[in-house]
Amino acid sequence: MNADRLTECLRCGSDCCFEQEVNDKITNYMCYGCGFQTNTLMTQDSDFINEQSSTLPELYKDLTYEDEDGKLWLPSTINLPKQGMVFANGKTSDSWKWSAVKAIEVKEEEKEKYPNPKIPGEYYKFRMDMSTMKEFEERDYMDALSYIGVLPE
C-alpha cells in the first residue's frame, strides 16, 4: 500500500486534499480546503452511494459533486463528542455555509435530559451547545475545525 499523502482536490483544486489508500480497491479523499470527501466506492449508482443517500440530508444530496474520474464528493460532517461538530448548513445549495458548534459538559442536574440510547442507564457527558454556533464560508473549512479545537488557531 502507498503511504498517505496530500494531493490536489479534484473538486476545488486545493492542495490540502488528504489521500489515504485503505487497500488496493479503496482510497479515501478528504479535502481540508473545501471540506468535501469521497472515496473510490462513491460513484453514480454504486451500492455504497445508494445506501448513503437514504440517510443523507437533502442539502448534502444537492451539494454532491461528480469529479472528472466519476467520484462523488459530499460535504463532510465532523462530530467529536468532547470538542464539537462541523457540518454543512443551509436551505439550498446556493445559500449554505459550514456551521461549527462547540461541545460543553452536561451539568449533573441536566444529565437526565441526555440519556445514551446505546447504554441504558448511562448519560452523555457532553452535548452540543447550539448557542456557540458560528458560520464559515466554504473555503474556510479549516477555520471551522479550528473553532472547535480540532486544528490550532
**Final residue before a domain boundary, out of 40, 57, 75:** 75
11 and 71, same domain (yes or no): yes
Asked if residue 153 belongs to a domain, the reply is no
Render pLDDT for 38-63 as a digit per residue (tens, 0 to 9).
999 999 989 988 888 889 999 999 99
**Final residue before a domain boundary, out of 57, 75, 93:** 75
pLDDT of 32 over the 90 cut: yes
71 and 85, same domain (yes or no): no
Indicate the residue type of 6. L
Asked if residue 152 belongs to a domain, the reply is no
Asked if residue 40 belongs to a domain, the reply is yes
89 and 46, same domain (yes or no): no
What mean pLDDT value characterizes the chain? 94
Q: In what order do the strands lie in the sheet with 78-80?
A: 78-80, 84-92, 95-105, 126-136
Q: Provide mean pLDDT across the span 95-108.
A: 97
Number of domains making up the chain: 2
Go through 113-133 and write b for each residue having 16 or more CB atoms within 10 A of its CB, e for each that does not: eeeeeeeeeeebebbbeeeee
Indicate the residue type of 73. W
Identify the band that residue 146 occupies on the pLDDT scale cut at 50, 70 and 90.
Answer: very high
pLDDT of 1 over the 90 cut: no
Q: How many CB atoms lie within 10 A of CB 97?
A: 15
Whole-structure pTM over 0.85, yes or no? yes
pLDDT of 101 over the 90 cut: yes
Note the pLDDT of residue 45: 87
54 and 97, same domain (yes or no): no
Q: Which residues span the domain enclosing 56?
A: 5-75
71 and 100, same domain (yes or no): no
**Final residue before a domain boundary, out of 28, 60, 75:** 75
